[in-house]
Amino acid sequence: MSKLKLVMVGNGMAGVRTLEELIKIAPEMYDITVFGAEPHPNYNRILLSPVLAGEMTVQDIILNDLDWYRDNGIDLRLNNKVTKIDRKGRKVFAEDGSEVAYDRLLLATGSNPFMLPVPGADLPGVIAYRDIADTDAMIDAAANHKHAVVIGAGLLGLEAANGLALRGMDVTVVHIADWIMERQLDKTAADMLQKSLEAKGLKFRLPAFTAELQAGESGRVSKVVFKDGASIPADLVVMAAGIRPNTALAESAGIYCNRGIVVNDTLQTYDPRVYAVGECANHRGIAYGLVAPLFEQAKVCANHLAMYGIGRYVGSVTSTKLKVTGIDVFSAGNFTGGEGTEDIVLHDPGAGVYKRVVLQDDKLVGAVMYGDTKDGAWYFQMLKDGQDVGEIRDHLLFGNSHLGDAGHKGANSAAAMPDEAEVCGCNGVCKGDIVKAIKAEGLFTLDDVRKHTKASSSCGSCTGLVEQILASTIGGAYTPADSNTKAVCGCTDHSHGEVRAAIRDHKLLSAQAAMAFMEWKTPNGCASCRPALNYYCISSWPHEATDDAQSRFINERAHANIQKDGTYSVVPRMWGGLTTPNELRAIADAAEKYQVPTVKVTGGQRIDLLGVKKNDLPLIWHDLNKAGMVSGHAYGKSIRTVKTCVGAEHCRFGTQLSMSLGVKLEKMLFGMWSPHKVKLAVSGCPRNCAEAGIKDVGVIGVDSGYEIYVAGNGGIKTEVAQFFSKAKTEEEVMEISGAFLQLYREEGYYLERTVHYIDRVGLDYVKSKVLDDDDNRKALYERLLFALQDYKDPWQERAEEPQLRAAFEDFAV
């Protein structure tokens, strides 16, 4: 029996989820063809914000890679739009001239961003924020321009603003309503969120009405003008003012549309051979924008495509549990209240906590929370069930773990939840589904649960609850996801700790030797384990282990960061942020000689040459080396920078010589490979102009000497460094800092930042090794100096130009 033909237009989250569900229940029914307008396989749009902020890559957010389509026999046609549907002939026509016949057609065309119809909306520099291309455009703009304006203060707009601010732009958020996220938050929660975002550097104008976008001399947008006549500068304008269902293709085919492609409870359109799911669909007058309802639609649609004919989609009760730039917010139902309702409120601005539950006739009809949202799923379940809460209303604000005799005293949130309670709103996964999978499949880790149930695999806000369910279901057998027993990757069952111990105890001097000794499942490892093994070898056996270039990423091999257009970024080192006229002249000469298009000052007090061609890398490094400049290792898992203020050398407030100490620290650590990037800073006084409080090691000068802080992180989730110790002299600072970093080098897992290392082992443990044991501290410090002695930049010894290209081929390709 020949298979039916299914064509899907659109390759987003809702459509591909439909295919996943269909393949589960009817894997042999269809030959499937998928058209995607973008050049990427299915990815998680929810996680575009971390990509913009620089904390994730596009590869990190791919949900279904190309192998998944191939393994399931799906003909995937990327970067290829469908331009026409012939319903009579049952064919679709694509822009590349191809045509494909169908027996069933699934429209998953998503939505388009709403662009304000104001003069100047078509200027260069005015973009939407919807997909990877938009994200790339914003990253480019942030590298070359200063002022950004985001129009719209919904979730997407705030995440865009935060990402652009993290990339160094001056960002103003413009919003038409009286408060931000007015559809998800009441004014009190919104004001708390706005205050937190302002503390991070964002600016707000609201309510504000955009009248016009004006161009500058270059023709690019340069100004936003408001209806009251005021204006603000704007080199980049991001429209995040809402979305509209993408119905153009359906309408051109004569399929009935009304603010979306109109579908019934089986997700069929008015043409019974054509289905629609996702943001393009209008079901009972509603076009949903949240991912959870779209996945519910996908399950029902798959049921009918499989011809089971028993599923119905009757609409969704939605809640919003989100992490806005690292801050938790939750809302559900009628959280604004009104006539006939009553509010119960807990508001602690000092602790950053706000909870408001809205009751009507002793039933919970709405809730909104800021800061502490762990009971969101509990509130949402009561709201959906219409549960009478009269007997427990006095305990509502304190959560289901504080109900005493009225509930589940002493139990955590997971143990108290009924099996039908929804845990993962994005994927529609209930507690019972997770518990059943854990017991039936013998699951022990968060990753296992994600693979089998999809819970916690989308926005991640339910991760903590999923881990609680794991712990309560398997008791003492539960192993947290980041524990010492987590396997390095799928190539082995060995954990990072076990691998490090084997390399140290058995003196394994190469990645290949380690894989052979530990009986790796794959002959050559993978991109996850090879760099880790290589690092563990060279950090355990400096001067003896083989540093395998092919086990390093291209950025470390070439001492340059590959850019999205295939060119490279070159950052020479400037010790402690100091430079000389000779170095500046060498950089200028190199930029002119090799036609470098962009020269930028970095946040680490250095100069970045962006757009270097691959073939020019050995030559540009040769020229810089002749001027005495070495690699800044700006993209390696290594010492990056030691940021300094001018200190007592020049500043009238300075108490210590921060520049000279910063140079000493950076030269001491030059060539230090580490589990992850390491950044230091030295401030000459407590005013802390070098931002030492968010570095892996931060040193602050005080009248009596220095204070040392450790485990700070200025990334997407800023972590304030913890006070570690005091020191009287520069020598003490260097010994204590060096010993701490060597302990981290010896015990940290590959890709584990110092903050996560200390979270894992505890600050008291680190203090016992570095501060409380003088002999151990000195031994750690000596091992660091031994490992780094005689380190030379790989380009330093390649002074003869004829040798450079051959050496480059060996080292960097």
Amino acid at 431: K
Do 32 and 95 lie in a common domain? Answer: yes
Distance separating alpha carbons of residues 729 and 657, to the nearest angstrom: 11
Q: Report the CATH number at residue 701.
A: 3.30.413.10
Residue 790 has pLDDT above 80, yes or no: yes
Q: pLDDT of 626-673, one tens digit each?
A: 888 888 888 889 999 999 999 999 998 999 999 999 999 999 999 899
pLDDT tens figures, 243-255: 999 999 999 999 9
Q: Residue 187's pLDDT is what?
A: 94
Determine the Cα–Cα distance for residues 288 and 294; give it in Å rounded to an integer: 7
pLDDT for 803 equals 54
591 contacts: CB under 8 Å, gap ≥ 6: 599, 609
Ranges 193-202, 321-330, 652-661, 675-684: which has the least confidence: 321-330
> Could you tell me the pLDDT band of residue 402, with boundaries at 50, 70 and 90?
low
Within a domain: 659: yes
Neighbours of 163 (CB within 10 A): 29
**616 and 702 together in one domain:** no
Helices (H) and strands (E) in the chain, counts: 26, 36
What is the tens place of the pLDDT at every residue in 141-188? Answer: 999 999 999 999 998 899 899 999 989 999 999 999 999 999 889 999
CB atoms near residue 570 (< 10 Å): 28
pLDDT band at 477 (very low <50, low <70, confident <90, very high): very low
Q: Please give the residue that has the higher pLDDT: either 777 or 290.
A: 777
First CA to last CA across the chain, in angstroms?
50
User: Which of helix, strand or coil describes residue 675?
Assistant: coil
- Residues 342-356 have a mean pLDDT of 90
pLDDT over 50 at 618, yes or no: yes
Q: Phi then psi for 380, rounded to 5 degrees?
A: -65, -40
Q: Are residues 523 and 651 in the same domain?
A: no
Reply yes or no on whether the pLDDT at 482 is more than 60.
no
- Tokens describing residue 647: 């200190």
> What pLDDT sits at residue 39?
95
Query: Do both 672 and 773 map to the same domain?
Result: yes
Residue 731 lies in a domain: yes
How would you class 811 by CB atoms within 10 Å of its CB: exposed for 0-12, middle for 13-18, buried for 19 or more? middle
225 and 154 part of one domain:
yes
Q: Which two tokens stand for residue 114?
A: 């709403």
Look at residue 449 and tell me if it is in a domain.
no
Put residue 361 in one of left, alpha, beta given phi > 0 → left and psi -120 to 50 → alpha. Answer: left
**Percent over 90 (pLDDT), the chain:** 59
> Domains in the chain: how many in total?
5
Query: What CATH number should be reported for the domain holding residue 610?
Result: 3.90.480.10
For residue 463, how far is the Cα from the chain centroid?
15
**Given pLDDT bands bounded at 50, 70 and 90, which one contains residue 1?**
low
Measure the CA–CA gap between 345 and 329, rounded to whole angstroms. Answer: 15
- Annotated binding-site members: 645, 651, 685, 689
Check pLDDT > 50 for residue 481: no
Per-residue pLDDT of 51-103, as tens digits, reads: 888 877 888 889 899 999 999 999 999 999 999 999 999 999 999 999 999 99
The answer to whether residues 601 and 703 belong to one domain is no
Greater pLDDT, 221 or 200: 221
Q: Within this chain, do residues 546 and 562 fall inside the same structural domain, yes or no?
A: no
CATH of the domain at 149: 3.50.50.60
CA pair distance 476, 716, nearest whole angstrom = 33
Q: What residues form the annotated binding site for siroheme?
A: 689
Please give the single-letter amino acid code of residue 290: L
DSSP assignment of 444-511, as one string? -SHHHHHHHH-TTSSS-TTHHHHHHHHHHHHGGG---TTSTTSBSSTT-S-BHHHHHHHHHHTT--SH
Give dist(CA 211, CA 204) in Å, integer.
17
DSSP 202: -
User: 241 pLDDT exceeds 80?
Assistant: yes
What are the φ and ψ backbone dihedral angles of 56, each rounded to 5 degrees?
-140, 165
Candidate from 226-230, 324-328, 404-408, 615-619 with smallest mean pLDDT: 404-408
| pLDDT for the residue numbered 413 | 58
pLDDT at 557 exceeding the cut of 80: no
pLDDT band per the 50, 70, 90 thresholds, residue 216:
very high
Highest mean pLDDT (candidates 368-382, 511-525, 588-602): 588-602
Site of tokens 């590298």? 143
For the four alpha carbons of 623, 626, 629 and 632, in that order, the dihedral sign comes to positive
Indicate if 217 and 145 belong to the same structural domain: yes
pLDDT tens, residue by residue, 311-335: 899 988 777 766 566 677 888 889 9
Range of the structural domain that residue 577 is part of: 555-626
Q: 249 and 103: one domain?
A: yes
Instruction: Tell me, yes or no, whether 435 lies in a domain.
Output: no
CA distances (Å), origin 462, targets 72, 178, 430, 647: 29, 30, 11, 46
One domain for residues 93 and 17: yes
Q: How is residue 397 written in tokens?
A: 């604000």
**Residues in the annotated binding site for [4Fe-4S] cluster:** 645, 651, 685, 689
Q: Are residues 644 and 771 in the same domain?
A: yes
- pLDDT of 598 reads 94
Residue 188 domain-assigned (yes or no): yes
Range with the poorest average pLDDT among 26-40, 568-582, 705-719: 705-719
Q: Which of 131, 191, 202 is nearest to 164 (CA)?
A: 202
Three-state secondary structure call for residue 194: helix
Q: How far is CA 788 from CA 4, 543, 633, 795, in A?
A: 64, 9, 15, 17
Residues 103, 250 within the same domain: yes
Measured between alpha carbons, how far is 152 from 180 in angstroms, rounded to an integer? 8
Q: Comparing 448 with 218, which gets the higher pLDDT?
A: 218
The mean pLDDT value of the chain amounts to: 87
Q: What is the mean pLDDT of residues 519-541?
A: 87
Burial of 535 (0-12, 13-18, 19+ CB in 10 A): buried
Does some domain include residue 323? no
Residue 612 lies in a domain: yes
Complete DSSP assignment for 356-392:
EEEEETTEEEEEEEES--TTHHHHHHHHHHT-B-GGG
Does 3 have pLDDT greater than 70? yes
Sign of CA dihedral 421, 427, 428, 433: negative
Q: Which residues are within 8 A (CB) of 757 and not within 5 positions of it... i.e. 6 or more apart?
A: 675, 711, 744, 747, 748, 749
493: Cβ contacts below 8 Å, ≥ 6 apart: 487
Q: What is the pLDDT of residue 472?
A: 67
Collapse the DSSP code of 590 into the 3-class scheme (helix H, G, I; strand E, B; otherwise coil) and give the result. helix
Predicted confidence (pLDDT) at residue 813 exceeds the cutoff of 50? no
Q: How many CA atoms lie within 13 A of 728 on its CB side?
A: 0
pLDDT above 70 for 809: no
What sign has the CA pseudo-torsion 647, 662, 580, 170?
negative
Amino acid at 799: A
The residue among 427 and 545 whose pLDDT is bigger is 545
Question: Considering the domain boundaries, does residue 583 fall inside one?
Answer: yes
**CB atoms near residue 806 (< 10 Å):** 11
